[in-house]
Amino acid sequence: MSNEVVHIVGARPNFVKAAPVVAALRERGVRQAVVHTGQHYDDRMSAVFFRELGLPRPDVDLGVGSGSHAEQTAALLVGLEAEFISRSPAFVIVYGDVNSTLAAALVAAKLHIPVAHVEAGLRSFDMTMPEEVNRRVTDQLSDLAFATSPEAVGHLVNEGVAVDRVHLVGNPMIDTLLGNLDRFDTAALRESLGLPDVYAAATLHRPANVDDPAIVARLVARLHEVADGVDVVMPVHPRGQAAFEAAGLADHPRVRLLPPLGYLDFVTLVRGSTAVITDSGGVQEETTILGVPCLTLRPNTERPITITHGTNRLVTDTELPGLMAKILAGDRPNGAVDSIPPLWDGRAGERIAAVMVGELDRRG
Ligand code: UD1
Ligand code: UDP
């Protein structure tokens, strides 16, 4: 076994979460490598985050690419197994709930390599979401569970995860946000993109919203209703691009479609917006810290703390235009007093690194 810690990243949200953990372990002199699975591969879905967030270039890119769940997961398992056998890492760190996360945890567990899961314990209790399957399995296979919120700790303990494996550390995605606050220049972005003073930012990519043409057509009709009252700017995730185009989303003078944005431009777009329409997990958290009203087009969330402590509200497509009109009239869509979830203070990476170093020492 080497003394190397290996980070597994593959999809857009992973990069944002890994950056502060890699930086904090570097500060402590831990030997580490970054393995990119290649689940996301377009420059705008992947490389831009490495350039912007000071992440080291991946030591290896497995290039697994897209496919059905079985095809993608199978390619991940095969690629990661060879990589772990040749590296023999002391610990594998996985992030969030994407297929790369699940595959890495499974391969490591079978090779008896300890696994740390960053963002453990989130639960939507909706097993139709691939992410819920990935989270539950990953948590069962992990030796260390790093939780972002107190209710996540409760879920893990309820599922039988030993309490000494669970650490409430805060949210590394928020470390990245707070660490880059002075780079989100809303005036400059407004000027470079020619944005109006008041606009709604939108981003949608969950299979339940973008895979079925009938649902996409419904959403497009609602988004057009919203656009009757406010400009809508939407960087389009590749998963839904063809479906939104086919359903005529761009056929409204106040809808502006953009390619996926890099992290700095995207968070700047959100920061400068009057409200956000989303189904993204990370965006629910980022809007909570930025104080931007967030309308989440989902029946549930694995991040309820963004509702109780933040600016998030779950909405149906039918409710969307009316709630947006209220926000434009000055209402807040979420009755909670804006506050910050505990430990979302920019220091989660440091806390994770402190636990990791203790664990590496303990295991020799
Ligand atoms: C994945 C995650 C999801 C996460 C999202 C973040 C799983 C099961 N899903 O969903 O949890 O919220 O990433 O963005 O892991 N594509 C490209 N270029 C790319 C990547 C993807 O064009 O660089 C297209 C391909 O047509 C691909 C589709 O997007 O089939 C879906 O990609 P995939 O990684 O399978 O899932 P996401 O929907 O991106
Ligand atoms: N994001 C981005 N560009 C975009 C859309 C999102 O940089 O065009 C960032 C967003 O700020 C957050 C992360 O990507 O940090 C969230 O990823 P995504 O919504 O793809 O996945 P989820 O969080 O739903 O798993």
DSSP 76-125: HHHHHHHHHHHH--SEEEEETTSHHHHHHHHHHHHTT--EEEEEET----
Domain annotation for the chain: domains and CATH numbers: 5-170+347-363 (3.40.50.2000), 185-328 (3.40.50.2000)
Distance linking the first and last C-alpha atoms of the chain:
10
Q: Which two tokens stand for residue 133?
A: 């399957």
CA 32 – CA 25 distance, rounded (Å)? 8
Does the C-beta of 260 come closer than 6 Å to ligand 2? yes
How far does residue 65's CA lie from ligand 1's centre (Å)? 9
Those residues whose C-beta lies under 8 Å from the C-beta of residue 153, and which sit 6 or more positions away, are 121, 147, 166, 168
- Look up tokens 């350039």; give the residue: 51
pLDDT score of 332:
85
Does the C-beta of 16 come closer than 6 Å to ligand 2? yes
pLDDT score of 1:
80
How far does residue 157's CA lie from ligand 2's centre (Å)? 29
- Beta-bridged to residue 167, according to DSSP, are 146
Residue 167 a catalytic site member: no
Pocket test for ligand 2, best of 9, 12, 300 (most atoms within 8 A of CB): 12
Query: Strands across the sheet with 5-9, in order?
Result: 60-61, 32-36, 5-9, 91-95, 115-120, 144-147, 166-168
What are the CA-CA distances from residue 28 to residues 32, 34, 56, 255, 354 (Å)?
A: 11, 16, 16, 47, 8
pLDDT score of 364:
84
CA 329 – CA 126 distance, rounded (Å)? 34
Q: SS3 for 272? A: coil
Compute the half-sphere exposure of residue 71: CA atoms within 13 Å on the CB side of its CA: 6
What does the pLDDT profile of the chain (364 residues) look like in tens digits?
889 999 999 999 999 999 999 999 999 999 999 999 999 999 999 999 999 999 999 999 999 999 999 999 999 999 999 999 999 999 999 999 999 999 999 999 999 999 999 999 999 999 999 999 999 999 999 999 999 999 999 999 999 999 999 999 999 999 999 999 999 999 999 999 999 999 999 999 999 999 999 999 999 999 999 999 999 999 999 999 999 999 999 999 999 999 999 999 999 999 999 999 999 999 999 999 999 999 999 999 999 999 999 999 999 999 999 999 999 999 887 766 668 899 999 999 999 999 999 999 999 8
Q: SS3 for 44? A: helix
pLDDT score of 337:
64
CA 64 – CA 77 distance, rounded (Å)? 10
Neighbours of 106 (CB within 10 A): 19
Ligand number nearest to the C-alpha of 43: 1
Phi, psi of 96 (to 5 degrees): 70, -135
Ligand 1 neighbours (beta carbon < 6 A): 11-13, 39-42, 45, 66, 72, 97-99, 130-131, 205, 237-239
CA 249 – CA 246 distance, rounded (Å)? 8
Of 36, 155, 167, 205, catalytic:
205
CA 241 – CA 103 distance, rounded (Å)? 27
Query: Are 313 and 333 contacting, i.e. CB atoms less than 8 angstroms apart?
Result: yes
Does the C-beta of 12 come closer than 6 Å to ligand 2? yes
Those residues whose C-beta lies under 8 Å from the C-beta of residue 242, and which sit 6 or more positions away, are none
Query: Are 119 and 125 contacting, i.e. CB atoms less than 8 angstroms apart?
Result: no
pLDDT score of 336:
63
